[in-house]
Structure 1
Amino acid sequence: MGYQALYRVWRPQRFIDLVGQKMITQTLQNAIITKQTSHAYLFTGPRGTGKTSAAKIFAKAINCPNANNGEPCNECETCLAITEGRLNDVIEIDAASNNGVDEIRDIRDKVKYAPTQSEYKIYIIDEVHMLSAGAFNALLKTLEEPPSNVVFILATTEPHKIPATIISRTQRFDFKRISNADIIERMQFILDEKKIVYEKSALKIIAKTSAGGMRDALSILDQVLSFGNGTVTLDNALLVTGTVTREKINFYLENIFKGDTGQALQVLQQILNEGKNPNRFVEEIIDFCRDLLLYKASPTIIEQDDLMDVDAKFKDLANNITVESIYQAIDILNEQQENMRFSAHSDVYIEVLTVKLSQITKKGELVSDESYTDFEEKVTDLKKQVNELKKIVIDLQKDNNKKTSRGEGSKPAKVSKRTSVTVDLKKVYPILADATRDTLTELKEIWPDLMNMLSITQRAIMNVSNPVAASAKGVIVSFDYDFLFEKAEENEGLKKQLTEGLERLVGKDYKILFMPKEKWPEIRKNYLNEHKELVEKKVHTTDENNKKLNDSDPQIEAAKGLFGQDFNEIVKIKED
C-alpha cells in the first residue's frame, strides 16, 4: 500500500485517543456502558477536532461484542469492518454533495429495514448544515422517531445554519478547539513512535499555526517531514508555515513604535523577500500585540505559557509602550486586514500599513520615547502656569487680609499701582433694561457646555466666572478676581469663542459683557434707583398681563362658577 498521510494513519480508533475532548468521550462511554444511548446526536465544532472520528468510534463501541468500559476492541470483525469502511450497517453520508430531498427520502425509505451484520444501524451525516430546507423537513419525522435499532449522528462546523427543529431532536455535543499543549503532546507521541528526530520549538510553531485543529497540525507536520527529508527542525517549520520569527516581529514593532518609518519598511522588505505571506504576517503582528497587552496586564500569564518566548527584548518593548498605543495599532491592523482579504496586491497594503502605523506617533495618538518627552514638557509648562495663577490668588488674599486687619490710624501699606477697573454703563444698562430671570436660567443651564467648547487656557480664565444677568440680546458675566476680568477683557479671541459657542447652543447672537464680581451689586443697585419708575412699570405690566390671562382662561372661569364668592379665598392660581 502507498504512503498514507499522518492524520489518516494516526486517526483515533478509541475514545481515549481523542485529544482534548475528555467531557464528550466520558459522556458517550458512560451512555454505552449503561445502555442509555440516544437515537440522534449532533456533533459540532471547528474542523479537525475529532467529530467524525468520535462518530465512527461510537459506531464501533455500540456494535462491538467485546466492548470494554465503552471502548471498542478494534479486533473483532465488526470493528475492523467499520474501521475499513465496509460495514453496510454504518452509512457515512457527505451532505455537501448529497443535500437534496431525494437523498433524504432514500434514507427514510431504507431506515425501516433492520441491520444485517450488527446490532445497530448507524447513519453518520457529515457537514449536515449543507442540507437544503426541503431535505431538513424530510428528515424531521424520521429523526424524531427512528426504529429502535437506528442511530443518527449529525456532524457540522456551522451549527447556526441548522434549523432549531432538528437541533431539538438531538443530543448536542460541542467539540472545542484542542489546546496547543495537547497538540504538541500528540505530535511528540507520533514522532517518538516513528523514531523521528525533531525540535520541540518546531512543534510549537506547527501547533500555533494549526489553530486548535489536530488534523491540520498533522498535515503541516507531514509537510515539514517531506521538506526536511524525515526530520523536523525549527527553520523548516518556519519556511513551511510561512511564520515570521518572534525576534523579527519584535524588531519590526520596535521601529514602528519609535516612529522610524524607514527602518520599519526595511525590516518588512526583508520579511517579504523571504517569501512570507503578508496576510499571515498581519495575523502574527496582531497575535504579538495581544501578547504585549497580556504581559502588561499580567506578566505571569505570558511567562507561564510554554509557547511564548519572553526574552529581554520582548520585555523592553512591552515596558516602553503604553496600552493605548497597542490598542491603536490593533485597530489599524484589523481594518487593514479586512482590506487585504479582497485584494490581489496585499504587499502594497502591508507597506501602507507600515507607514500608517509608524506615523501615528506624529499625530500624538501613540506615545513613543520622543513624543512622550514632548508631552511631559507640555504638562510641565501647564503645571507651571497653574502654580503661577495660584500664587497670584494667594498674594491677593494676603493683601486683602492685611487691609482688613489694619486699624484706622495705622499707616497705609504700600500697594502696587493698579489700573482702576471701569465698567461701561452705556453697554450694561440696555441689557439690564430687558433682562429676565428665564433668560438667565436658560444660560446657566448651558453654561457648562459652553465652557467645554473652550481651550484649556480659556477655561482657566473663565473658571471663576458666572452669568449674573441676561436679556434676549446680551449677557453680563462677573469674575471673582479683577486680574482675571482684565485678562478676559483683553482677550478678543475668548469673546469671539464665547459668542460663537452661545450661538451654536442657543441659536441667538448674544453680546457678552464682563465685569468684576465686586462691582456687580453696586451697578445693579444704581440701575434700580435710577430707573425705579421703569422697573415698577415693568412689574405692574407683568402682573396685569398675568391677571388678564387668568381672567380669560376658560378653566379659571369654570372654577369661579363652581366656588362662587369664595373663589379668591379658596383657589390660588400658579403659573407653569
Structure 2
Amino acid sequence: MSYQALYRVWRPQRFADLVGQEHVTQTLMNALREGHLSHAYLFNGPRGTGKTTAAKLMAKAVNCTHGPAPEPCNECDACRRITEGAIMDVVEIDAASNRGVDEIRELRDKVKYAPTEVRYKVYIIDEVHMLTTEAFNALLKTLEEPPAHVIFILATTEPHKLPPTIISRCQRFSFRRFSFEQIVNRLKVICESVQIAFDEPALYAIARAADGGMRDALSLLDQALAFGGDRLDERVVLAVTGAVSRDILFQLLQEIAGQNIAAALKVVDECIMGGLEPEKMMQDLTHTCRDLLLFKTAPQLTEIQGSIIGGPGSQLAEKLSVSQLSDMLDQLIHYQQQMKWVAHPKILLEMAIIRLSQPQAAPNGVSSNEIGDLWGRVRHLEQTIENLCQSPPVSQVTTSPAEPETTPMAKGARKRPASGKPTTIRGDWLHQLSAERLEEVKRAWPEVLHRIKEEKITVHAWLIDGEPVGATQDKVIVAFKSKIHRDTTEKEANKTLIQQVLGQVLRRPATLQTLMFAEWNEIRAKTGSDSSAGGNSRARPESREDDVVNKAIELFGKDLVEISKG
C-alpha cells in the first residue's frame, strides 16, 4: 500500500477523538442522539482545525447502519466506504474550482434524486466563500428548503465573505485553534505509536510553528521524520521550519542586554550567512522575548516551561526586567511590521539590534543619572512643602493708625491695586467731579460702546455691565455690578483700548477709573452732596433738577432760559 501522510492516517474517526472542539462535537452528538438534525450546517474556523473531519464524521453518523447515532461505528459497510470516499451519496465539492453558477445549478438538479446507497445525501462544500454571487443566489432556495433526504455541510476559513442570506439558513459552528498543549500531547501520542524517539524541545518547536493548526503540526512532523530518520530532535525541526535555535536567540539577547553591539551583530551575520531569512529571525526573536516576558509574569504556563525553564533561558529571564522586555517587544513588533515594506530586510534587522543594544535614553537626551538627580530634588521639594503645610508660618500684618480698616469692603479694595481705593477716590479727584462732564460722557457712551464692539467684542461684553457715574476733565468713572466684569476691564490691554476709544469720542485724553456700585454708594453716603455733583440718575432730587436745567440750556440756549427758584 502506498504511503499516506500522517494527517490522513491520524484523522479522527470518532467525535470523541476530535479534541479541542468539544463545543462542536458535543452539540452534534446531542443532535444525533435526539434526532434533531438540521438541513444545513456551516463550519468555520482557521485552517487545520477539523472542519472537514467533522463534516465526514457527521456524514458517517447519519448514514451508519446502526444509526443515526452519536458516534459512527466505523465497522459497517456504510462507515467504511464513506471513510474510503467510495459512497456516491456523500459528495465533497471544492468550491474554489467549482465556483460558478453552472456547477451550482447542476448540484441543484441532482439534489432532488433520492440516495441510492445510504440513508442521506450529504453535500460537503469546502471553501464555500469562493462561490460567486450568482452561485450563492442559485443555492439560496435549495439550501433553505432541500428535500428531506439531503444535508448540506458548508466549510470555510473566511465566513465574513459569505452573504448573510446563506449564513441565516445554516446552523453555524465556529472551530477554534488548538492550544499549544493539545498539539504537543497529540504529537507525543503519534510518536509513541510509531515508536519514534523524540526530544520534547522538538515537539515544542513544531507546536510553535503550527500556530494552532493540527494539520500543520502533523505535516511538519511528517517532514521532520522524513529528514531526520528514526530520531526527532530540535535541530531537525529547526532545519525543516527554517527557524532559529533557541540557544542562538538566547545568546543574541544576552549580548543585547549587555549592550555588546559588535557581538550581537556578529551573531546576526552568522545566522543569515547560514541561510536564515531576516524576516524569520525577527519573528523568532519577537516570540522569544514574548516567552521571556510571560515567564517573568506567568511562569506556570506549560508552553513557557517547556522552552524557558533551565539553562540560559532562566538566566536571561533573571537578568532582564519586565519593563525592559516590554520595551524590547514593542520595538521588535514595530520593526517586524516595517520589514514588510523594505527592500533590504537585513539592514532593518541590524538597525533594530543596534537600537535594542543601546541604553534607553530619556527625551531630549537626558541621561538616567540626571533623571535620578531630578527625582531626588523633586522628592526633597515635596518633603519641604509637606513640612510647611504641617506647620505654616504665621504672618503678622500691622495696620497703620493713619489708615484704619473700617469695613471689610475697605480690605477688599486694598487687595486690588488696579481698582482704586475709596480713600484715593475721595482724596485725589472726587472733589473735581463735574455734572457737565458726566452728561457729555453719558451722551457719548453709546458711541464708545459701539466703537469698542467693533474693535474687540469681548471687551464690549465686559464693559457693557458698567455705567458712567462721574467725570472730571481727564477721568471717566465707571461703576460695575459684577466684580468679574470690573476686574477684566481693569486688565492692561482692555483698559488701554477703552481709554483710546474714550479719547477719540470725547476729543481729549481720558483715563478710565473703575469701582463697584457698592463702593460708589458708600462714598456718596459718606461725603453727602459734594460727592454727588457728578452723580447719575440715582442721585438726590437736587441733582435731577440740575439735569433738567442743563438740558433746557442745551436745547434753548443760556440767554433764553431763566432760572427761578420758588
| TM-score, structure 1 normalization | 0.66
Alignment of 1:52-91 (within 5 A): 52-67=52-67, 69-91=69-91
Contact 1:282-1:333 within 8 A present in 2 as well: yes
Task: Find the aligned partners of 1:304 and 1:111 in 2 and give their Cα distance.
Answer: 48
The equivalent residue for 2:263 is: 263
Aligned equivalents of 1:159, 1:537: Cα separation in 2:
74
| Residue in 2 that maps onto 1:378 | 374
- Range moving further from structure 2, 121-130 or 324-333: 324-333
Tell me what 1:347 maps to: 346
**Cα deviation 1:457-482 (Å, max 9, x = unaligned):** xxxxxxxxxxx98855469xxxxxxx
CA contact (8 A) 1:432 1:470 kept: no
For 1:385 and 1:196, the matched residues in 2 are separated by 69
Paired residue secondary structure (2:49):
coil
- For the pair 1:228 / 2:224, whether they are aligned, the reply is no
Counterpart for residue 361 of structure 1:
360
Instruction: Say if 2:127 and 2:156, in contact at 8 Å, map to a contact too.
Output: yes
**Alpha-carbon distance in 1 for matches of 2:191, 2:276:** 27
Pairing 1:309–2:316 present = no
**What is the aligned partner in structure 2 of residue 480 from structure 1?**
none
- The alpha carbon displacement at 1:290 in A equals 2.8
3-state SS of 1:207 partner: helix
Q: Aligned in 2, Cα 1:303/1:107: closer, same or farther, shift over 3 Å?
A: closer
Letter in 1 for 2:31: A
- 1:358 is matched by which residue type in structure 2? S
Q: Which amino acid aligns with 2:109?
A: D
Aligned to 2:274: 274
Aligned to 1:143: 143
Return the alpha-carbon distance in structure 1 between the equivalents of residues 45 and 304 of structure 2: 25
Measured at CA, do residues 383 and 100 of structure 1 come closer, stay the same or move farther in structure 2, by a change above 3 Å?
same
Change beyond 3 A, Cα 1:317–1:365: farther
Give the counterpart letter for 1:210 in structure 2: A
Q: Distance in 2 between matches of 1:244 and 1:184?
A: 20
User: SS in structure 2 opposite 1:178?
Assistant: coil
* CA distance, structure 1, for counterparts of residue 302 and residue 12 of structure 2: 33
Q: 2: distance between equivalents of 1:329 and 1:432? A: 64
Distance change (3 Å), C-alpha of 1:232 and 1:374? farther
* Contact kept? 2:114, 2:149, Cα under 8 Å: yes
Whether the 8 Å CA contact 1:120–1:149 is kept in 2: the answer is yes
Give the 5 Å matches for 1:133-532: 133-297=133-297, 299-302=298-301, 305-311=304-310, 313-314=312-313, 317-318=316-317, 321=320, 323-343=322-342, 345-359=344-358, 361-363=360-362, 375-384=371-380, 471-473=490-492
Provide the secondary structure at the position in 1 that maps to 2:125: strand
Deviation, 1:84, is 1.8
Inter-CA distance 6–533: structure 2 relative to 1 (3 Å threshold): closer
- Per-residue CA shift, 1:245-265, capped at 9, x if unaligned? 334333333443454433332
Contact 1:324–1:366 (CA under 8 A) maintained in structure 2 = no
Aligned-residue RMSD, C-alpha = 4.1
CA contact (8 A) 2:46 2:175 kept: yes
Structure 2 residue matching 1:361: 3-state secondary structure: coil
Deviation per CA, 1:531-559, whole angstroms, max 9, x where unpaired? 9994469999xxx9x99xxxxxxxxxxxx
> Per the alignment, do residues 37 and 68 of structure 1 end up closer, same or farther by CA in structure 2, a change over 3 Å counting?
closer
Q: CA–CA distance in 2 between the matches of 1:36 and 1:229?
A: 49
Cα pair distance change 1:14/1:532, threshold 3 Å: closer
Which has the higher mean CA deviation after the structures are superposed, 382-391 or 308-317? 382-391
Residues 348/2 of structure 1: CA separation in 2 closer, same or farther (3 Å cut): farther
Partner SS for 1:264 = helix
User: Structure 2 vs 1, CA of residues 203 and 347 (structure 1 numbering), >3 Å: closer, same or farther?
Assistant: same
The structure that has the greater radius of gyration is 2
Q: 1:25 to 1:142 in 2, by over 3 A?
A: same
Match for 1:379: what amino acid? W
CA shift digits 1:221-258 (9 cap, x unpaired): 11111111232112211222223233433333344345
Distance 1:380 1:317, change over 3 A: farther
**In 2, Cα distance between the equivalents of 1:308 and 1:374?**
39
- Would the aligned equivalents of 1:302 and 1:308 in 2 still touch at CA under 8 Å? no
- Contact 1:225 1:232 (C-alpha < 8 Å) held by counterparts: yes
**Corresponding residue number in structure 1 for 2:32:** 32
Q: 2: distance between equivalents of 1:187 and 1:429?
A: 87
Please state how far the C-alpha of 1:310 moved relative to its aligned partner.
2.8
Deviation at 1:74, TM superposition (A): 2.2
- The verdict on how the C-alpha distance between 1:308 and 1:131 changes in structure 2, with shifts beyond 3 A counting, is same
- Residues 106-132 of structure 1 show CA distances to partners (whole Å, capped at 9, x for unaligned) of 111110011111110010000001111
C-alpha distance in 2, partners of 1:208/1:126?
27
Q: Encode CA deviations 1:131-174: one digit per residue, 9 max, x unaligned.
A: 11111111111000000000000001111111111111111111
- For 1:241 and 1:350, locate their aligned partners in 2 and report how far apart those are by CA, in whole Å: 20
**Match for 2:171: what amino acid?**
Q
Contact kept? 1:91, 1:123, Cα under 8 Å: yes
Distance 1:303 1:129, change over 3 A: closer
Q: Residue 351 of structure 1 aligns to which amino acid in structure 2? A: E
SS for the counterpart of 1:307 is: helix
Match for 2:144: what amino acid? E
Structure 1 unmatched runs, 5+: 405-427, 443-467, 476-507, 509-530, 548-576
Report the counterpart of residue 107 of structure 2 in structure 1.
Answer: 107
1:257–1:361: 8 Å Cα contact kept in structure 2?
no
Q: Which amino acid aligns with 1:291?
A: D
- The one-letter amino acid paired with 2:168 is S
CA distance in 2, matches of 1:386, 1:351: 44
Question: Percent identity, aligned pairs only?
Answer: 44
The whole-number CA distance in structure 2 between the counterparts of 1:306 and 1:316 is 14
Higher mean displacement: 48-57 or 307-316: 307-316
CA distance in 2, matches of 1:246, 1:23: 35
Distance (whole Å) between structure 1 residues aligned to residue 516 and residue 174 of structure 2: 84
In the superposition, relative to structure 1, how do residues 323 and 89 fare at CA in structure 2: closer, same or farther (>3 Å)?
A: same
CA distance in 1, matches of 2:137, 2:514: 86
> Match of 2:97, SS?
coil
How far did residue 324 of structure 1 move? 4.5
Whether contact under 8 Å (2:39, 2:151) holds in the other structure is yes
Deviation digits for residues 360-399 of structure 1 (CA, Å, limit 9, x no counterpart):
61346999xxx655533332244456667888x79x966x
Instruction: Find the residue that maps to 2:232 and give its secondary structure.
Output: coil
- Kept after mapping to 2: 8 A contact 1:243/1:280: yes
CA contact (8 A) 1:360 1:366 kept: no
* Compared CA separation, residues 239 and 432, structure 1 to 2 (3 A): farther
Counterpart contact for 2:282–2:336, Cα < 8 Å: yes
Unaligned stretches of 5+ residues in structure 2: 398-415, 422-457, 463-486, 497-509, 521-533, 538-566
Contact 1:259 1:361 in 2 (8 A): no
Cα distance in structure 1, aligned partners of 2:361 and 2:286: 22
Gap change, CA 1:231 and 1:87, over 3 Å in 2: same
Equivalent position of 1:51 in the other structure = 51
Residues 73 and 79 in structure 1, CA contact (< 8 A), matched pair in contact too: yes
Partner of 2:443: none
| Matched residue type, 1:163 | P
